[in-house]
């Protein structure tokens, strides 16, 4: 079985070719065109610009993915060799999503190949399956620029089922990183630069709030934490600098303190969910899953408190938006997928209420 994955939910244009034999995954290609440098000039993603670049890059990326897949396979991989086409239906930016969905619909119609709609959030978690045999039920934590969600995943003869058990009430954790980076004049995207500066910072220097950490639920909030950072920069005006000279050590301390506050909340809620639902596995997914401190501390805390729970974290190359995760998620839907009417199939930016 050969699956073509297509991902255009935001500012990455991606395609991947995945070969599945007896339940084992063989990744033949993984091509991504990133728009980060373009949007960095604006301090964030501009939807219209993102969609235009998606339209420009979608066919070249698809062709590159098929060409690379052919070079890795004993047989030539062409559009006709594809057995299934999996595409991100949502959530995401509607104009970006439409580029991938309409391309997939066209290919499905012309090649007479089944079309598999994929939820972007579920895909972030299921990419962990590419090199691992995961046992369910599982608790999944999705951390990205647009989402912070805790999910319970169960398995039955009808496939995987998802239940959102907690989510952010305001900003997503990745969004908070970006906004704090903007406050500190660090540029976009904020996650990598804050993480880098935090390495040599004192995470206990500034006493920042841990919103909702004491509440007996699985929800998150990060807007108050972001505001607390803003107030600190007003109090210590020399922290905000583009040159990072004499005040560099205080900037590093603030980055470390902010990052640790986010991590404390994420870990606290995750541990509460694991205690409540007693899963066999824990899955991490999303762009913020690349944060080394989050990965290390999550691994340590879960191992100490719940040593029987197997922990799965994606390779760094699979943390950001990519089409490999779409192809893997598509595979899990194939056996239970009903024939899709391509004429009625549409992009859905608000599909995250149901990850199935």
Q: Are residues 36 and 107 in the same domain?
A: yes
Q: Is residue 107 within 8 Å of residue 79, measured between CB atoms?
A: yes
| Helices of type H across 169-291 | 173-183, 190-198, 223-235, 248-277
Q: Are residues 349 and 335 in the same domain?
A: yes
Domain range for 21 = 2-131+317-353
Does residue 229 share a domain with residue 164? yes
Give the torsion sign (CA, 59, 345, 90, 356).
negative
Residues 83 and 167 in one domain: no
CATH number at residue 127: 3.30.420.40
Give the chain's domain count: 2
pLDDT at 180: 96
Residues 6+ apart with CB under 8 A from 24: none
235-252: string of b/e by CB count within 10 Å (b at 16+)? Answer: eeeebbbeeeeebeebbb
Question: What confidence score (pLDDT) does residue 239 get?
Answer: 66
Together in a domain, 176 and 250: yes
Residues 240 and 329 in one domain: no
Give the pLDDT confidence score for residue 244 in this predicted structure: 47
Is there a single domain that holds both residue 98 and residue 177? Answer: no
Return the number of other C-beta atoms located less than 10 Å from residue 77's C-beta.
Answer: 22
Q: Give the model's pLDDT for residue 23.
A: 86
Per-residue pLDDT tens listing for the chain (356 residues): 999 999 999 999 999 999 999 889 999 999 999 998 999 888 889 999 999 999 999 999 999 999 999 887 767 777 888 999 999 999 999 999 999 999 999 999 999 999 999 999 999 999 999 999 999 999 999 999 999 999 999 998 888 999 999 999 999 999 999 999 999 999 999 999 999 999 999 999 999 999 999 999 999 999 999 999 999 988 876 665 545 444 588 899 999 999 999 999 999 999 999 999 999 999 999 999 999 999 999 999 999 999 999 999 999 999 999 999 999 999 999 876 667 777 789 999 988 666 77
**Alpha helix (H) residue ranges in the chain:** 36-40, 47-72, 94-111, 120-126, 173-183, 190-198, 223-235, 248-277, 292-305, 324-334
Same domain, 177 and 219: yes
């Amino acid at each position: 079985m050969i699956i073509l994955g297509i991902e255009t939910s935001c500012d990455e244009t991606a395609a991947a070719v995945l070969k599945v034999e007896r339940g084992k995954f063989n990744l033949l290609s993984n091509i991504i065109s990133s728009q980060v440098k373009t949007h960095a000039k604006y301090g964030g993603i501009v939807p219209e610009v993102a969609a235009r670049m998606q339209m420009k890059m979608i066919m070249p990326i698809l062709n590159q993915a098929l060409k690379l897949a052919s070079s890795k396979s004993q047989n030539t991989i062409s559009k006709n060799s594809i057995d299934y086409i999996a595409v991100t239906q949502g959530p995401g930016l509607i104009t970006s999503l439409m580029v991938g969905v309409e391309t997939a619909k066209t290919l499905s119609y012309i090649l007479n190949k089944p079309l598999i709609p994929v939820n972007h959030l579920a895909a972030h978690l299921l990419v962990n399956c590419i090199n691992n045999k995961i046992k369910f039920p599982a608790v999944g934590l999705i951390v990205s620029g647009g989402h912070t969600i805790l999910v319970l995943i169960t398995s039955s003869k009808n496939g995987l089922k998802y239940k959102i058990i907690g989510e952010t009430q305001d900003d997503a954790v990745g969004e908070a990183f970006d906004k704090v980076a903007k406050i500190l004049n660090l540029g976009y995207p904020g996650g990598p630069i804050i993480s880098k500066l935090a390495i040599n910072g004192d995470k206990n220097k500034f006493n920042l709030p841990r919103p909702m950490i004491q509440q007996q639920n699985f929800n998150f909030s990060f807007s108050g934490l972001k505001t607390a950072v803003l107030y600190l920069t007003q109090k210590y005006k020399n922290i905000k600098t583009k040159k990072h000279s004499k005040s560099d050590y205080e900037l590093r301390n603030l980055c470390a303190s902010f990052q640790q506050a986010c991590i404390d909340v994420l870990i606290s809620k995750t541990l509460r969910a694991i205690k409540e639902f007693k899963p066999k596995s824990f899955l991490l997914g999303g762009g913020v899953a690349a944060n080394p401190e989050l990965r290390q501390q999550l691994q340590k805390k879960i191992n100490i408190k719940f040593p029987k729970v197997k922990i799965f974290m994606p390779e760094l190359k699979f943390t950001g938006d990519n089409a490999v995760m779409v192809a893997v998620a598509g595979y899990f839907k194939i056996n239970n997928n009903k024939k899709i009417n391509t004429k009625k199939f549409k992009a859905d930016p608000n599909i995250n209420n149901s990850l199935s």
